[in-house]
């Protein structure tokens, strides 16, 4: 049996880093859980063929929100797949158009909690150095530096895909949360 966390080298590297710093380097509460964990509680009665295209890998917040890779196609490099945010209160968004973009999002500080930012400053600094050393990616100053047109395209494709099986309240949530009211 292998000790490799996932089939995604970038996730394996991040997991190893997180394990080395005690897991706490992101002010929002990013924390790994079992790769590919069952998430059908969010998607209602979606057929397995749809649920298999969502690959959950980590909590996004300390309150139970999580990230999943969306297999929008059959590309071999899973790190290039869009990263979906599933909020613990029903929020839904395409957080990043690929895994490296998410890695940069994890560089953002909590804009409301200076005490927490100070508490994790050493681990955050280690993360920034790790991100630069391994991927040549700089820290972000704000959410404004993320996304663009590619994220909009991913969001629309994800919404259209979800609407293939979403019914009732889930359908409405998808359209509202992804700002795709024209698909309602």
What span, in angstroms and rounded, lies between the C-alpha atoms of 160 and 123?
Answer: 39
Does 46 score more than 80 pLDDT? no
Domain boundaries, the chain: 9-183
| Per-residue pLDDT reduced to its tens digit, 93-141 | 999 999 999 999 998 876 666 676 677 778 888 999 999 999 999 988 8
In our burial notation (b when 16+ CB lie closer than 10 A, e otherwise), range 101-111 reads bbbbbbbbbee
| Per-residue pLDDT reduced to its tens digit, 145-172 | 677 889 999 999 999 998 888 888 888 8
pLDDT, position 76? 96
Q: What is the dihedral angle through the alpha carbons of 89, 152, 155, 56, rounded to the nearest 10 degrees?
A: -70
3-class DSSP state for residue 32?
strand
pLDDT, position 44? 60
**33, 59 in Cβ contact below 8 A?**
yes
What span, in angstroms and rounded, lies between the C-alpha atoms of 134 and 13?
Answer: 9
CA angle 11, 36, 179 (to 5 degrees): 85
pLDDT, position 1? 40
Query: What is the bridge-based pairing of β-strands 54-59 and 31-32?
Result: antiparallel
């Amino acid at each position: 049996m292998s000790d490799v966390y996932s089939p995604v080298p970038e996730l394996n590297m991040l997991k190893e880093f997180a394990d080395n710093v005690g897991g706490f380097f992101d002010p929002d509460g990013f924390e790994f859980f079992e790769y590919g964990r069952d998430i059908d509680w969010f998607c209602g009665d979606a057929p397995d063929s749809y649920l298999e295209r969502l690959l959950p890998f980590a909590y996004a917040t300390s309150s139970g929100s999580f990230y999943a890779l969306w297999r929008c196609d059959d590309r071999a490099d899973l790190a290039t797949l869009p990263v979906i945010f599933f909020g613990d209160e029903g929020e839904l968004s395409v957080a990043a158009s690929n895994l490296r973009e998410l890695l940069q999002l994890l560089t953002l500080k909590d804009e409301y909690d200076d005490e927490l930012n100070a508490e994790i400053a050493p681990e955050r600094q280690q993360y920034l150095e790790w991100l630069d050393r391994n991927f040549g990616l700089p820290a972000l100053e704000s959410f404004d530096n993320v996304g663009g047109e590619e994220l909009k395209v991913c969001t629309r494709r994800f919404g259209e895909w979800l609407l293939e099986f979403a019914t009732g309240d889930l359908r409405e949530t998808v359209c509202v949360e992804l700002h795709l009211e024209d698909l309602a």
